[in-house]
Structure 1
Amino acid sequence: MKCNIGFRNMATIACLAALPGMAYADGAMQDIAIPSLAGSYTNGSKSYMLALNDADAVQKQASATPVTQAAEFEPPMFSGSNAHKYLGLGTLALVVATALAPKPPEVEGRAPTQAELDAQKSSNHARLGRAAATLAAATVTTGLLAHWDDFHVEDGWTDPDNMHALLGTAGALAMLYAVSKAPGGGHAGVGMAGGVAMGVAIKLTW
């Protein structure tokens, strides 16, 4: 009986002696866990702050960079297309001026003298007619050079671009023929028909 009591006392003393060690070990484990959690939180906070700083730096750089707007396209003032257009308008103006200019008297019933022929050829009507025919030829030439790709036979003759080219060419040829036949009779009608054809050609693509 005394031995049992002694054994129990020794076991009790051993348990009491082990309690401080267990408490110390538990505290050490908590101390190890707490710094680990704190360290991970600190590292995460640092990464978050660095990301915020990088985002702010990128935003400031983007706002500081000047935004260059694309320049608006401006067609050149002098081009083959513009030359064709203005030559055509000039041709129409000269056709109207030729029709309004006073014509020299026509000689009927006899052959005109050389002086009468010279007077007819040097009149304002004749000069304006020749200028109109010259501009018409220049208009057709610049049109062929600047707008050759717009002419397509497969689109049909009723296509506006095709009609423009055909009427413009026919009008210029008629005006050149009228000038070559002047001052003979009948040249006026051919010349006016050529001017009208040129006008319709311009109207189709205006």
Structure 2
Amino acid sequence: MSVEKLLSALRLEAEIKERSILEEAAVKAEEVAVAAREKSAAIQREIDLKRQLMESRRDALRLARERMARREAMLEAQDAAAQAVKKEARGLFQEFMGSPAYGQYVARELETVRAEAGELEEVRADAVTAEIIRSLGGPEKIAVDENVACGFVASTGGGRRKWLCLLETRLEKLWRARGNEFVNRLTESAGWRLST
């Protein structure tokens, strides 16, 4: 074999090898590019999913804040209405205390307490009620107490047992018993929905 043929054969072999290496590199590059595109697409899908989840949570949080604001406004209105009802009740009770029927009312209340407690040791009351209890032959110790309004507090056992016959306790009992009914009527008349 001549040198030229040998060089030609070597060149041919080098070209074949070069093409083979380039083809193999192109295949590998395409595989890497495909894998990178797939990974990029997967990452983008994950980003999109997380973005949707974040937006969904943001919307849920906004809706929850709006519901809380509506509930807070409703509770404030309910509280204002309850305070107005109590104020009106106190005013009406003050008027009632000036009537002859109030003496009969106090007599019934005092009898109810005596039936449960027996002999009373002390009664603390507002001035009007204390005077009525004195006229009814109440216990020896009857004190006018400026902290007691619209009724009386009777006690036995050295003050260990007490009976509160006050407008405020009656209102609280009534509110516990029928407050929900009042709130429901109030919310219906105002057009509120409790579930929102």
Larger RCO (CA under 8 A, 6+ residues apart): 1
Greater share of strand: 2
- Asked which structure has the greater CA Rg, the reply is 1
TM-score range, shorter chain: 0.3 to 0.5
- TM-score normalized by structure 1? 0.39
